[in-house]
Copies of this chain bind each other. A is one copy, B any other.
Amino acid sequence: MTKMEPTEFRSAIRAIGDERYHSLHPFHRALHGGELTRGQVQAWALNRFCYQSAIPRKDAALISRTTDVGLRREWRRRISDHDGDGENDGGIERWLVLTDAVGLDRDDVKELRGVLPATTFAVEAYVHFVRDKSLLEAVASSLTELFAPSIITERVEGMIATYDFIDDRALAYFSHRLDEAPRDSNFALDYVVEHAETAADQQAVIDAVYFKCDVLWAQLDALYHAYVAPGHIPPGAFEPADHATHEKSP
């Protein structure tokens, strides 16, 4: 294993998106293609809230691990982007505007009632990864944001065009992320290029991006299984009013 040049290393990281990012998942394609029922969109919005609301915890875990003031200052902005700051409501509040728009009860969402256990397991795996792996891997696991702008554009256009219960205001979360995600991911990419000193470090960065793609992919697998086909909702999970299933779980 030899160490890659920075340009090659950057390309290797970006290439993972083409192969593994959840924009390739059938659930994403159905969502942005307007093929889902309102209940399926509700299930997605509810479960995705579980992910969104855990992000500040994982970012705080990263900050708690480093003595580098510059990294801490830069990373702190991610927390305020999600939790809000003064005039800015923050991404979590904006996500609740979306769950309101699709007709979910705000208290149910905030309490994560009916979230799929598989979602929680994937999300907490991400929090634990950032807490327990090397700082380099923790930073690297955020790099899936490099791939986010294209998925966001697709999703926003597809959703506004096809779901009459979703409008621009409901999707304000995504328009903010279009500014925040590139800023954050460019910083993180420069960071890992600078701090991956050996070929093994570079491989650890790449593995961290794969891991994070798995975290995102597994969430869509669980949604697909429970709410699309075959539509086996696990016991205790959210049951949409319009849910049709071929084979109901007990």
Known: A121-B121, A122-B118. A218 touches B234 (CB 8 A): yes
CB pair A117 B234 closer than 8 Å: no
* Residues of A within 8 A of B (CB-CB), count: 34
- Kindly report how many copies of this chain are found in the complex they form together: 2
Q: What B residues does A210 contact at CB under 8 A?
A: 236
CB pair B26 A232 closer than 8 Å: yes
Interchain nearest-CB distance for A248 vs B (Å)? 10
CB pair B221 A225 closer than 8 Å: yes
Q: What B residues does A24 contact at CB under 8 A?
A: 249-250
The CB with the most chain B CB atoms within 10 A, among A19, A125, A210, A230, is that of A125
Q: What B residues does A214 contact at CB under 8 A?
A: 117, 234, 236
Indicate if A203 sits at the interface (CB-CB under 8 A): no
- Per-residue contact bits, chain A 217-239, to B (CB 8 Å; 1 contact, 0 not): 11001101110011010111000
Q: What B residues does A230 contact at CB under 8 A?
A: 224, 229-230
Q: What B residues does A247 contact at CB under 8 A?
A: 26
Of B213, B226, B229, the residue contacting A221 (CB under 8 A) is B226
CB pair A224 B225 closer than 8 Å: yes
- Per-residue contact bits, chain A 94-135, to B (CB 8 Å; 1 contact, 0 not): 000000000000000000000011101110110010000000
Interface residues of A (CB under 8 A from B): 19-20, 24-26, 116-118, 120-122, 124-125, 128, 210, 213-215, 217-218, 221-222, 224-226, 229-230, 232, 234-236, 247, 249-250
Given contacts A26-B232, A217-B235, 7 further A-B pairs with CB under 8 A are: A20-B236, A118-B218, A118-B222, A121-B218, A210-B236, A218-B222, A222-B222
Q: 7 smallest A-B Cβ distances: which pairs?
A: A117-B214, A225-B225, A121-B121, A121-B125, A24-B250, A118-B218, A121-B122
